[in-house]
Amino acid sequence: MAKHLKALIGPSILNSDLSRLYEESQKLLDNGADYLHLDVMDGHFVPNLTFGHPVVKCLRNKIKDAFFETHMMVANPEQWISPMADAGVNQYTFHIEPVDDVERVCRKIKESGMKVGLAIKPGTPVSDVEKYISMSDMVLIMTVEPGFGGQKFMEDQMIKVRHLREHYPLLNIEVDGGVGPATIGCCANAGANMIVSGTAVIGAQDQAATIKQLRDTVQQAMSQ
Ligand SMILES: O=C(CO)[C@@H](O)[C@H](O)COP(=O)(O)O
Ligand SMILES: [Fe+2]
């Protein structure tokens, strides 16, 4: 793996106490999180609801300098680009499955000043996302069916990560779903460098140690 890619840990606050969103987020950052992964669900693309841009904007008002990635599990990603940019989002990661014109959505995200992340579900072939890589800053390979935290890691998705790392040594590759100390080795060895971890970090006895362990494992794989 290319040595100048960074190992970055972005905890998901999905399974935290959302009535304390600011406190939980600040705690993760104080414990060494490199960025925050904010799971936005609309009840259409996935059978669950979370929060939208008004909540993200309130969080941004309290946390000025952290990198916010929104994972947009929504049926119409184009609809929320402008409100999310206005809310202070740094990276807008959307699923390509429901989108007719992926290039247009990528362009609009860039024009609004955010980075572009392209996400695919476990059943989506990696070739579907490959054609858009030149327009993106990151590809997210889902390692669970999107919609809920706390699910089992799907190791069979590592073939996609391996394929991308082999062909795109400079690409930021993120994994999301069931990732924690027990599964980070698979992700790191396959070539993922951006790690989302929800339940495993939120529920950890020592959050800082868990975040460090995840980062160290990725760094070690990158240095080989
Ligand atoms: O996007 C999603 C789920 O759809 C994720 O961000 C998960 O919420 C991460 O949580 P764990 O699987 O690590 O508990
Ligand atoms: Fe997510």
Distance CA 48, CA 18 (A): 15
Find out whether 153 and 177 touch, Cβ atoms under 8 Å: yes
pLDDT digits (tens, 9 = 90+) for 124-139: 999 999 999 999 999 9
Distance CA 103, CA 53 (A): 23
Summary mean pLDDT of the chain: 97
pLDDT above 80 for 202:
yes
Residue 12 assigned as binding residue: yes
**Catalytic one among 34, 39, 42, 137?**
39
pLDDT above 60 for 19:
yes
pLDDT above 90 for 13:
yes
Domain 8-223, what fold?
TIM Barrel (3.20.20)
pLDDT above 90 for 4:
no
- What is the per-residue pLDDT for 224? 87
Residue 10 assigned as binding residue: no
- Own/partner long-range contacts of 75-82 (Cβ < 8 Å, ≥24 apart): 75/42, 75/44, 75/45, 77/105, 78/104, 78/105, 78/108, 80/40, 80/52, 80/53, 81/105, 81/108, 81/109, 81/112, 81/114, 82/112
pLDDT digits (tens, 9 = 90+) for 50-90: 999 999 999 999 999 999 999 999 999 999 999 999 999 99
Domain ranges of the chain: 8-223
Averaged pLDDT for residues 153-179: 98
- What is the per-residue pLDDT for 22? 98
Q: Residue 37 Cα, ligand 1 centroid: separation in angstroms?
A: 9
Q: Residue 45 Cα, ligand 2 centroid: separation in angstroms?
A: 13
Averaged pLDDT for residues 211-216: 98
* Known catalytic membership, residue 34: no
Averaged pLDDT for residues 16-29: 97
* Known catalytic membership, residue 176: yes
- What is the per-residue pLDDT for 3? 53
Give the number of whichever ligand sits closest to the CA of residue 145.
1
Q: Residue 120 Cα, ligand 1 centroid: separation in angstroms?
A: 14
Q: Which of 40, 68, 151, 194 to mutate to test the pocket of ligand 1 (most atoms within 8 A of CB)?
A: 151
Among residues 171, 196, 184, the alpha carbon closest in space to that of 220 is found at: 184
